Structure 1
Amino acid sequence: MVVDSHCHLDYPGLAEDLPGVLGRAQESGVRLMLSIGTRVRKFAQILAIAEAHDNVFCTIGTHPHNAAEEPDVTARELIDIARHPKVVGIGEAGLDYHYVLSPRDIQAKSFRVHIEAARETGLPLVIHSREAEADTAGILEEEMGKGAFKPLLHCFSSKIELARRGLALGAYVSFSGILTYKNAEDIRTAAGEVPMDRLLVETDAPYLAPVPFRGKSNEPAYVVKTLERLAEVKGVAAPEMARITTDNFFALFGKVPKPDWAA
């Protein structure tokens, strides 16, 4: 049994066929999904999906692309929303210097607001970092000095230095379908360095479908292909990797009730 630790069930490509998406996930052995928040002001859409399905949980946050749209989001607002039993994490938040759809200073301010909320609630912080390794690591290290929180580097596609600095802070690292791409040897090298007890798998659906589905709309059922590739990288059987990543998910996202199938 597998957990998709990061997907966007409210996004086009998934939302319009949600019963089919959830059914195919079940058939593939994906028993639980975490749908990630990207806009606090549109959180109701994600929460409605999570409330309607026992095996779907969610997070609350503002994606760095949307930071300029939501500059007034406060840590207190995130903390208050996170009291809901279906909200099990903060984010995704972080830095994206590839598109820079929000100014860098606004992204950084929003990132720190989310860190404050993660620290206060004790919930994991889902971190987005693209072409911003040094600043991401620097903010994480500075903020960790103010008080501990639980970082998760999601959809890892950065230089290995970010993984090393994150791991030194106690971070978990999640790998997406990028791990299966032919030209992603650097990502596989990074995965090889991540300790077994810090690994997660995800889809980031509807984006980044793994081989052999690359180019198609991604969905939680496909996380199995990423898990199989990660198992090869780490030199273990796929069922063992499924057990490891599932155990790691529940260790990190401790607010999620652990079902019988994951015991």
Structure 2
Amino acid sequence: VSILLGAVLLLVRGVGLGPRAGAALAAAALIAFVVIARPSPSVLRAAAMGSVALLALVTGRRKQAMPALAAGVIALLAWSPGLAVDFGFVLSATATAGLIVIAPVGVDVLVGRGWPRAVAETVAVSVAAFAVTAPIVAAMAGTVSLVSICANILVAPVVGVITVAGAVTALIAGVSVPVAEVVVRVTQWPLWWLVTVAERGARLPGASIPVPSGPAGAAIVLGAVVALGVTLRRRGPRLVLAGIAIGVLVLWAPIWPSSLGRLV
């Protein structure tokens, strides 16, 4: 949702429309997304959380984004109380909070150290999302992924293309399916890359480690995440870069031969 609304706002800014027009078009795009994807609980949850995340990224006002997130959570729970015991809802809300509170701080630190902003944002978002959701995933599934951050960084460049092209295809399909079939081909190679990274990453030895499920697993992973965060804060982003670089190389190693053959 954040990607779609962000694309709309970039388009609005590119054609020189004002902020009010941008807000109106973004709202229209959000409604269209909900209608096309159908207003199921998961879609409404994504719309609410994505809107809050985009609000934080666009305005840069984290103090306003957190009350907006809280209001969105309350409204969704009032509409569907069953979400209170839904892991998907907890993951969405927690990840959004991480993107609002943690990711911008990480971006500022990395940019201050000379990192390109695009790279800093990709790394900070991936790390923040993992840090806040890993304890919940551990409680839910009894596992912790050791490759998710690197995998997310590898596929980050294609996610926007897939999301926007897929949304445009869905809109066009309502008018002309043959035209939509042509447009959707834009996603062929990006989707292949995303699926390849996911499959190869999951097959790596030690890609995930088992932990106790339930509160015990959540507490163990939370403690590990906090300890790692303290270590990284003391030693600086260089350790982050080194760890990510090693992880990317490990993920890339099994992907490279088939990737080269496919592209050739």
Greater helix share, 1 or 2? 2
When normalised by structure 1's length, the TM-score is 0.33
When normalised by structure 2's length, the TM-score is 0.33
